[in-house]
Structures are given as structure tokens and as C-alpha cells.
């Protein structure tokens, strides 16, 4: 898409624009900013290899917005600022596709592929047919029309002939170019077909965020993608993390209306290359040209496993005749083209029986139903327990105890109940009663109207105490050595721990008498508990398990207070004034400190000697040398272990990242560093350090 030379020029241009160089005319400046933003969008959304920091990107974008605000006559339809039509509500009018959107015929084995090949060979009078084989993306299909290099329309599939106009929503998908240089290829109007998807990584992240907010988790990425395309507000579409992959050109004409498919455009591979050149995300990297059915089959089999680690959900592969002329010779039925076939992967679904539902109480009191099913092997693991999320999920899926259920591993990892099979019921199935009282302490459960989750509000609830205590002692919180979750569970069962403060009055002589405990383990436990009294304030804050308050928020808050009890006096407004604290988190902290049992707990902890103060030595010890900097370690480290490296970064105020991106400041490389180093070297803002240089930063 961009040559190395062009990329270097655009990089330089970005730097000049960021320095607000004066020698641009207004028009030039606007044009240049648009050019560099489009380039950086391509690096980020198409290649996933950004070469600009978020900060610089945002500042360029803000410059453009400001200039367009001052000179609205200079706004163009393809300006990056026009992706999101503010205040607009979609109507989704019906539109006629330029070429009808057919489906694909399915195949399941080499026999089916051989049969398909025989048909194609017959229809085209060829002996050895050349095929392109590419993944079948599991999302929502979309058709884009570009005219005179501008995106003029996007539509859903609809019934294949008529779809819904979703142009405004498509513009909110950053990997769809608003303008593309088709004219360079002699094309005036073109219709492209592709799939809107959500990557596995984004899907899991979005779901984790939703669950943390008490919202319903999305069920699968395909439905989420197609649902998102029909949302009324393009602003919301932009939040969904959608991406578009384009895999077919269904219509292309030049300025005089001459059709270019199978004349100027000659192969599917060539078309995909051209789309890549025009800045689209395509299956080019994943595609293989195969001659004959055996080569097709061999390539498909490499994907049976590759798909498990591939970041996009695929439900099969698509085999397409490469020559567009031969595609025309094959023609289509009313349902599918005869030049392509889908090969479906064996579904990762299994049947099982729903034996019972357990209701688990989390540390914040959230009650989650968990299905216990007859153990069933699925994609390499045995599944016997599956979260049912909340009461609405059980109702939506129409689940009864004793039902036959279909289990799937969504996102390759999390097992998921697709639904029940009502036809297999014999009448003995029972309704699942969602408890109205806490399964642990029997207090009445409550559910705020706008939430999907029932909660137990009793702070002394034993199930919550168990979860809270496990969190309290964990590595990220008070980091109590010698005290894991099984110890907590045992102590709660024996009545040694009824609330968190009991951790500091454990009956050590009694513990010594228990099976499995020796002098050494008891003294380790005692030392761990003693040690925990001396933790920095943010650890105590995190350990309290306040909803929405994790490590980062705890650190943000700890910087702004001198003692934990300051939070008791703070108003909602005071709390929201702390950098990094939004209204939701502020509410949660406020509620926590209004509750007298929590204040009582904190006084008790203080009486036991647990640090509740923001001590200057915590900041001094850390000396914050790495404050605000991000690190990643790669290769085999010689000077220290991974854990020690992590500790050093965190103790000194730095942050660890899990991957190379423009957000990374330093990549520390040990021996035999691989792809992370290669990737980092392409991002000018990432500094590569040796282990010694890293240690030097701490001195």
C-alpha cells in the first residue's frame, strides 16, 4: 500500500506537523494532516503495527478538528473527522446490491472437494484447476460501494438482493477506508464484499469490561458484529472494536461503464492484492494458491490447528477458482456460485446433560449461576462446569435441569452453553429456581433495576468473606506468603476466620495441631502475616476488594491521600476530582466508606498494626525512577528472572505491557530475542535496551 519511501516521508511529515512547522499553507496543512492520519490508521488498523504514539496521533487529530471547525468549507467527505456522524440516528433504508450476494455451498471432507473439483474441471474444460484457499471468517457480511474513489455506500446482506444501508455505521469502522485509489487501476465504481468481525482478543476484552460493569456478556462475536452493524448510533458502533476484512470484488466498471471483471481484472488473487494496495484489510497473508484438490485439502488441514491460535473466529475455509474468466464459465445457481465452495471445520460443539446449577457468591456479593454438566471432552479439554452468567441467560436459553444441552467453546477458550434441545425432553426436567436468598448466608438478594446481577448485600456473608479473604492475601493485594486459597478455605471451615481482621488473630498453636501443618509452615505463615502489616497504602486499598477498584485505581487514589481514613471524609465530587477516577468508581468507593462495618474493619486492621498511611518512605524506596514508563521483557534473560524483572519495574513505578505496540516505551532484550524485537524495531518510539542498560536505569 505505502512504499518504504512513502512511509519515511509520511513519518517525517508527521513530525513536522507535530512541531507546528509554519511553512504550510492552510490547505496544505489540512491535506497533510489527513494524509498522515490515514497512514497511521492503516498502520494501526490494517497492519496492527502502529508507528506513532497515541498522544501524537490524538494531537494531530485535534489539530485537524480545530482547523475544520475554523474553516468548515474545507471539510471533505473523506476527512478522518467524518467517520462518526454525531447526533445522527440511522434509518437503515433498503438498498439494491449491485450484484446479488449469494451464499456458499458447504463441504466437509476431501471427497466433497474432489467432487467440486470435478464439476469445475468439467465446466471450464480444464484438467488442473488453480484455486485460492482462504479462511472463512465468522462475522457479518457486508457490501461496500466506492465511486470515484470515495466510499458511497455500505450495506448488510439482507436477502441477498436487497440489503440495509448501514453507511454511517461502516464509516465508524476504522479499517474501512473512506477513500481508496481505485482510479489508479482504471476502476470508477466497484462493489466489494467482506466480513465485519471482532477479533477474539477484542471480544474477550469487551466482555470482561462488560462483566466488570455488571452488564450482560455478549454471547458470541458473530452475533455481536451483526448486532453492532445495526445500532442506531454510529458513536456506539465505534466503541465496539469492529474490523472489516474484504475478500471479493462483485462488480467493477470503468468511467464508460465497461465491466472489468474477467477482462481487466483477471484473478481472485490479483483482486485481493489490489484491495490490499488500496488500503483494505484482506486475507492476502492467509491465502494460498493451490493446484488441484489434494493441494487444497493439504492447505485446509494446516488451518485445522492454526485457527485455534488465529485471532479471528473462522468456521471453515473458502475454496475459490482463481481465474475470473473460469469463474464466469462456471456461473452460479440462484443460491451459490459454482466456482467457490466452503469447507466447514468440524464444529467444536458437544452434547451433554445439565445435572445441576450451583449458585456461587463472589467477593462483591454477585451471585453467579454455574451449570454442572456430565463431563464432556471438547477441543482438547474435559468440561464439567460452565458459567451461566445471570438469571436472564437461563431464561433466554430456556434451560431446565436434566436438559440435553449443546456446549461450545467460544473464543476457543471459554466453554459456553449454546442452548438446550427441547425435543429430547422426557417430562422429568425441572425448572431452575434462581434463589432469592443468598445460598451462603440466606440474606435476601437484591438486584438494582438496570443490572442483570443479583447480589448479597450482607458484608458478613461467609461466601463473600472467603472470596474477600482470598483476594486480600493475594499477590496483587497484601501479598501474604504462606497463605493461599486452600488455607483460607480451611481456616474458614474451622471457624478461625469469620472476617478479614481474623487473619491477624490466627490461633497459631491450634493450627500447628492440624494435619499438614508443621513448625516451619506455621512460622512461614506467621512471618507472612507480620510482613503484610508493612505494605504500602495502595496494597491495602486494593486488598479491600471495593468494586471497580483494582491495582491501577488503588495506586491513583493512594497518591492523593495521606491516610486511608481520608476517604471516609471525601464527597463524591472530591473522589471524581482524583485523576483516573470516573463517576462509577467514585460511587463505589463512596458507598464502601459510608458503610460502618467497613470502617470498623479498617480500625481493627490499624489496631493490629497494618499500615494505613501514605508513608513518604514508600515513595522514596520506590524512588519512582520508572514512573509512567512502560516495559516489556523478551528473550532469555541472563541477569534476572522474569518475576524479578516485573518486581523491579513495578517497585520503581513503571508498568509492564504484554505486547509490542506504540504504547511501549522500552523493550528489554535477553538472548535469542525473536518476533517482539523485530516488531519493536519497526516502531521508532520504542527504545530497545540490554539487561545491563535496564539495570542502569535503576541506579
Residues of this chain that interact with ligand IVH (CB under 6 A) are: 102-104, 134, 136-137, 141, 193, 195, 247-248, 283, 318, 337, 340, 342
Tell me how far, at minimum, the Cβ of 195 lies from ligand IVH, in Å: 5
Tell me how far, at minimum, the Cβ of 318 lies from ligand IVH, in Å: 4
- Give Dmax (Cα) for the chain: 94
Q: Which is nearer to ligand IVH, 146 or 343 (CB)?
A: 343
Mark whether 19 is an active-site residue.
Answer: no
Instruction: Please answer whether residues 352 and 371 qualify as being in contact, where contact means their C-beta atoms are separated by less than 8 angstroms.
Output: no
> Facing residues of 689 across strands?
668
CA distance 456 to 439: 9
Q: Which is nearer to ligand IVH, 297 or 403 (CB)?
A: 297
CA distance 678 to 297: 33
CA distance 299 to 379: 21
Residue with cell 446490491: 97
Q: Which is nearer to ligand IVH, 318 or 544 (CB)?
A: 318
Tell me how far, at minimum, the Cβ of 313 lies from ligand IVH, in Å: 10
Tell me how far, at minimum, the Cβ of 36 lies from ligand IVH, in Å: 31
Instruction: Please answer whether residues 656 and 650 qualify as being in contact, where contact means their C-beta atoms are separated by less than 8 angstroms.
Output: yes
Q: Which is nearer to ligand IVH, 200 or 547 (CB)?
A: 200
DSSP character string of 332-399? B-SSSBTTEEEEEPPP-EEEEEEEEEEEEE-TT-BEEEEEEEEEEEETTEEEEEEE--SHHHHHHTT-
Please tell me which residue in 136, 200, 281, 397 is annotated as part of the active site. 136
Count CB-CB contacts under 10 A for residue 583: 10
Q: Which is nearer to ligand IVH, 336 or 622 (CB)?
A: 336
Q: Grid coordinates standing for 63?
A: 489539530
DSSP category for residue 45: I
CA distance 442 to 456: 9
Instruction: Please answer whether residues 537 and 567 qualify as being in contact, where contact means their C-beta atoms are separated by less than 8 angstroms.
Output: no
Burial environment of residue 12 by CB neighbours within 10 A (0 to 12, 13 to 18, 19 or more): exposed
Tell me how far, at minimum, the Cβ of 154 lies from ligand IVH, in Å: 14
Q: Which is nearer to ligand IVH, 40 or 193 (CB)?
A: 193
Q: Which is nearer to ligand IVH, 104 or 480 (CB)?
A: 104
Phi/psi of residue 432, each to 5°?
-90, 115
CA distance 665 to 663: 6
Tell me how far, at minimum, the Cβ of 152 lies from ligand IVH, in Å: 21
Return the CA Rg of the chain: 30
Q: Which is nearer to ligand IVH, 191 or 233 (CB)?
A: 191
Q: Where are the alpha helices (DSSP H) in 532-570?
A: 537-543, 551-558, 566-569
Tell me how far, at minimum, the Cβ of 142 lies from ligand IVH, in Å: 8
Instruction: Please answer whether residues 83 and 45 qualify as being in contact, where contact means their C-beta atoms are separated by less than 8 angstroms.
Output: no
Tell me how far, at minimum, the Cβ of 322 lies from ligand IVH, in Å: 13
Tell me how far, at minimum, the Cβ of 325 lies from ligand IVH, in Å: 16
DSSP category for residue 47: S
Identify the CA nearest to 499 among candidates 585, 611, 608.
608
Instruction: Please answer whether residues 135 and 288 qualify as being in contact, where contact means their C-beta atoms are separated by less than 8 angstroms.
Output: no
Pairing verdict, β 94-96 and 162-164: antiparallel
Residues annotated as part of the active site: 136
Amino acid at each position: 500500500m505505502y512504499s518504504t519511501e512513502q512511509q519515511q516521508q509520511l513519518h517525517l511529515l508527521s513530525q513536522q506537523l507535530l512541531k507546528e512547522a509554519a511553512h504550510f499553507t492552510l490547505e496544505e496543512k489540512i491535506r497533510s494532516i489527513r494524509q498522515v492520519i490515514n497512514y497511521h490508521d492503516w498502520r494501526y488498523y490494517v497492519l496492527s503495527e502502529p508507528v506513532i504514539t497515541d498522544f501524537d496521533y490524538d494531537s494531530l487529530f485535534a489539530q485537524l478538528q480545530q482547523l475544520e471547525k475554523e474553516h468548515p468549507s474545507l471539510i471533505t467527505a473523506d476527512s478522518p473527522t467524518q467517520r462518526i456522524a454525531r447526533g445522527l440516528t440511522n434509518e437503515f433504508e433498503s438498498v439494491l446490491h449491485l450484484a446479488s450476494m449469494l451464499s456458499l455451498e458447504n463441504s466437509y471432507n476431501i471427497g466433497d472437494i474432489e467432487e467440486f473439483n470435478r464439476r469445475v474441471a468439467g465446466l471450464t474444460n480444464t484438467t488442473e484447476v488453480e484455486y485460492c484457499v482462504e479462511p472463512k471468517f465468522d462475522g457479518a457480511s457486508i457490501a461496500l460501494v466506492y465511486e470515484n474513489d470515495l466510499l458511497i455506500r455500505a450495506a448488510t446482506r439482507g436477502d441477498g438482493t436487497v440489503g440495509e444501508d448501514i453507511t454511517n455505521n461502516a464509516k465508524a469502522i476504522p479499517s474501512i477506508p473512506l477513500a481508496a485509489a481505485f482510479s489508479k487501476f482504471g476502476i470508477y465504481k466497484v462493489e466489494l464484499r467482506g466480513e465485519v468481525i471482532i477479533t477474539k482478543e477484542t471480544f474477550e476484552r469487551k466482555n470482561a469490561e462488560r462483566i466488570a460493569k455488571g452488564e450482560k456478556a455478549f454471547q458470541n462475536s458473530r452475533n455481536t458484529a451483526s448486532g453492532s452493524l445495526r445500532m442506531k448510533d454510529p458513536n456506539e458502533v465505534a466503541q465496539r472494536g469492529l474490523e472489516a476484512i474484504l475478500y471479493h470484488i462483485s462488480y467493477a466498471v470503468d468511467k464508460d461503464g465497461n465491466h472489468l471483471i474477467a477482462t481487466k481484472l483477471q484473478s481472485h488473487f490479483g483482486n485481493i492484492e489490489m484491495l490490499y494496495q488500496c488500503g483494505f484489510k484482506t486475507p492476502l497473508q492467509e491465502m494460498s494458491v493451490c493446484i488441484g484438490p489434494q493441494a487444497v485439502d493439504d492447505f485446509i488441514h494446516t488451518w485445522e490447528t492454526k485457527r485455534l491460535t488465529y485471532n479471528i473466529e473462522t468456521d471453515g475455509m473458502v475454496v475459490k477458482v482463481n481465474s475470473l474468466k473460469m469463474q464466469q464459465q462456471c456461473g452460479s445457481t440462484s443460491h451459490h456460485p459454482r466456482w467457490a465452495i466452503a469447507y466447514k471445520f468440524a464444529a467444536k460443539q458437544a452434547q451433554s446433560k445439565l445435572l445441576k446449577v450451583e449458585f456461587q457468591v463472589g467477593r462483591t456479593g454477585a451471585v453467579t449461576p454455574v451449570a454442572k454438566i456430565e463431563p464432556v471432552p471438547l477441543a482438547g479439554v474435559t468440561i464439567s462446569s460452565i458459567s451461566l452468567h445471570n438469571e436472564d441467560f437461563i431464561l433466554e436459553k430456556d434451560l431446565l435441569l436434566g436438559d440435553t444441552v449443546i456446549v461450545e467453546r467460544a473464543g476457543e477458550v471459554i466453554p459456553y452453553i449454546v442452548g438446550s434441545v427441547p425435543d429430547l425432553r422426557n417430562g422429568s426436567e425441572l425448572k431452575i429456581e434462581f434463589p432469592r436468598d443468598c445460598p451462603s448466608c440466606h440474606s435476601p438478594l437484591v438486584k438494582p433495576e438496570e443490572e442483570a446481577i443479583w447480589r448479597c448485600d450482607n458484608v458478613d456473608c461467609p461466601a463473600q468473606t472467603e472470596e474477600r479473604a482470598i483476594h486480600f492475601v493475594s499477590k496483587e493485594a497484601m501479598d501474604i506468603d504462606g497463605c493461599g486459597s486452600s488455607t483460607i478455605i480451611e481456616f474458614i471451615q474451622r471457624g478461625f476466620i469469620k472476617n478479614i481482621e481474623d487473619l491477624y488473630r490466627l490461633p497459631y498453636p491450634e493450627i500447628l495441631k492440624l494435619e499438614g501443618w508443621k513448625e516451619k509452615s506455621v512460622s512461614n505463615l506467621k512471618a507472612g502475616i507480620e510482613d503484610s502489616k508493612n505494605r504500602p497504602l495502595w496494597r491495602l486499598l486494593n486488598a479491600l476488594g471495593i468494586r471497580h477498584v483494582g491495582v491501577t485505581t488503588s495506586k491513583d487514589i493512594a497518591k492523593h491521600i495521606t491516610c486511608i481514613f481520608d476517604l471516609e471524609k471525601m464527597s463524591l465530587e472530591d473522589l471524581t476530582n482524583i485523576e483516573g477516577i470516573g463517576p462509577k468508581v467514585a460511587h463505589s468507593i463512596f458507598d464502601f466508606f459510608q458503610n460502618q462495618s467497613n470502617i470498623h474493619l479498617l480500625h481493627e486492621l490499624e489496631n493490629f498494626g497494618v499500615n494505613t498511611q501514605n508513608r513518604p518512605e514508600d515513595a522514596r524506596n520506590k524512588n519512582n525512577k520508572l514512573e509512567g514508563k512502560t516495559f516489556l521483557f523478551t528473550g532469555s534473560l541472563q541477569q534476572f528472572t522474569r518475576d524479578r524483572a516485573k518486581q523491579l519495574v513495578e517497585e520503581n513505578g513503571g508498568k509492564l505491557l504484554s505486547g509490542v505496540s506504540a504504547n511501549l516505551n522500552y523493550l528489554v532484550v535477553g538472548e535469542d530475542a525473536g518476533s517482539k524485537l523485530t516488531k519493536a524495531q519497526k516502531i521508532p518510539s520504542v527504545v530497545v535496551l540490554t539487561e545491563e542498560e535496564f539495570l542502569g536505569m535503576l541506579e
